[in-house]
Amino acid sequence: MIAIGTHDPDLVVLSILVAAFASYTALDLGARVGVARGLARRVWLVAAAATMGGGIWSMHFVAMLAFKMPFAMSYDVGLTILSLVVAIFVTSGGFYVISRQSASGRRLVLSGIFMGLGIVAMHYTGMAALRSPADLSYDPLFVTLSIVVAIGASTAALWLTFRTTRLWQRLGAAAVMGVAISGMHYTAMRAARFTAHGQFDEAQRQTGLDQTHLALVVAGATFVILAVALIASLSEQNRAEAALRQAWEDLAHVNRVTIMGALTASLAHEVNQPIAATVTNAQACLNWLAGDPPNLEAARASAMSIVEDGTRAAEIISRTRLLFEKGSPRRELVDVNDVIREMIVLLSSEITRHGISVRTELASYLPRLMGDRVQLQQVLMNLIMNSVDAMKDVDETRELAIRSRQEDDGRLMVSVIDTGVGLPSQQAEQIFYAFFTTKPQGTGMGLSISRSIVESHNGRLWASDNAPRGACFHVVLPTVVETRE
């Protein structure tokens, strides 16, 4: 007679959770494969394949234990282990092929077929490991359907593993893969037919508790292993992100030093003015004191001028030193109008040297923003110097306009507008790409670094044309509630 089996609904749900968790972990490890190189890439590839393969096997084994028959069942240890090896091997092969940069759609399909057939082999090897007093046969229709589901699920898993980058994408992909992998197993189980001979006593039926305990142990061990792999992946991600931030900070520092080096002559002139004024006022002070009688009031006025000139020189040197310094970003409340004024003063000699007039339209009582002052100075310096470079060879009027205002949504907008040569045709976005430059001596990093800095402040930087001539660079930054009185 045909023996009818049932499934424990709790263990069925547990098997699907195992498949989904394994899929998510494999997706996360797959992201490490995409960015790693050399030995590290191979290690992450093996880890991702072992996670997916082992997870599929664990889901299969838990689902098998969820299957209850009216007689005792056991499993051949050798074939059970073989089914695990098969799962990891075929997953490794599929992951290796599709992770290569030259992987094409054809390779994806072939890898999906290879991995799908391997998972089918894993399942039916696991079924062959089943020991029971009933004869096992299969329905050809459902066997074929299980093969189709396995190939489809495998192809989707391979495609998603190296193409999901956001958290919500991975969660959604993991849920889809978990259901698909589980669907393959239960479709294949629908193909199984158990033909029993004779009757079974009640003692043979009391195996459910042991199967439940074993399923919980297997699932628990799987979750622990997957959690360890996921923690290792997250640790590596945090390390890589920290290294990337440090690299960008170093590059930003080099960019600042390069610009300041190019402005050495202008900065020297800027500092020389208050120093020369200090010398003049000191001589005047001495003359007033040498009079008979000494003119103390005039001498005091000259001394006050000396203090003012010395303070102005110190401020210029201080601003320059801050831009040369290398250190970790420091977030503080910043008045964006102050940053604009400081950069205009610092770059005034360079602006004047090229006959450029500056017009500022700075809104009053703007909210302050939380940001790194030096980094924001660097953004303004890059944008202003780009405008200077764009206008210095223009024969017509050269005007640099800098505006600040608050948007309707509360964010601050700063616009740097010039009447230079304008943006490259159809390349308003490409100018922000690293190493893209239209200048013979340019590095192509200034605007890229500037956008990176603005985005790290949760802002946005973009460019547009300025009719009838020139370019506009716009920076939008979030603010804090507190405003300057």
| DSSP calls for 227-267 | HHHHHHHHHHHHHHHHHHHHHHHHHHHHHHHHHHHHTHHHH
DSSP 333: E
DSSP 405: E
What sections of 100-207 are H helices per DSSP? 105-128, 140-161, 167-191
Query: Which among 219, 316, 283, 287 has a CA at the least distance from the CA of 21?
Result: 219
The pLDDT, as a whole number, for residue 88 is 82
- CA gyration radius, the chain: 35
Count the Cβ atoms, other than its own, within 10 Å of residue 235.
10
The pLDDT, as a whole number, for residue 472 is 92
DSSP 447: H
**Is 41 in a helix, a strand, or coil?**
helix
Per-residue pLDDT of the chain (485 residues; tens, 9 = 90+): 676 778 888 888 888 888 888 878 877 776 676 666 777 777 877 887 788 788 888 888 888 888 877 777 777 888 888 888 888 887 777 777 666 655 567 777 877 787 788 788 888 888 888 887 778 888 889 889 988 888 887 787 667 765 655 677 777 777 777 777 788 888 888 888 888 766 655 444 444 446 677 777 888 888 888 888 878 777 877 877 777 666 666 656 666 666 555 556 555 655 666 787 788 888 888 888 888 888 888 888 888 888 887 877 777 676 566 555 555 567 888 899 998 988 887 777 778 888 899 999 999 888 988 888 878 887 888 888 888 888 988 888 899 999 999 988 889 999 999 998 888 767 777 777 766 666 655 556 678 778 888 888 889 999 888 878 888 999 999 986 433 33
The pLDDT, as a whole number, for residue 316 is 65
Element (H, E) at 135: strand 135-138
For residue 293, cis peptide bond before it (omega within 30 degrees of 0): yes
For residue 468, cis peptide bond before it (omega within 30 degrees of 0): yes
Q: Phi, psi (5° rounding) for residue 401?
A: -110, 130
Q: Which residues pair with 370 in a beta bridge?
A: 333
- The answer to whether 226 and 22 are in contact (CB under 8 A) is yes
What's the CA gap between 380 and 473, in Å, rounded?
10
What's the CA gap between 367 and 412, in Å, rounded?
8
The pLDDT, as a whole number, for residue 323 is 55
DSSP 101: T
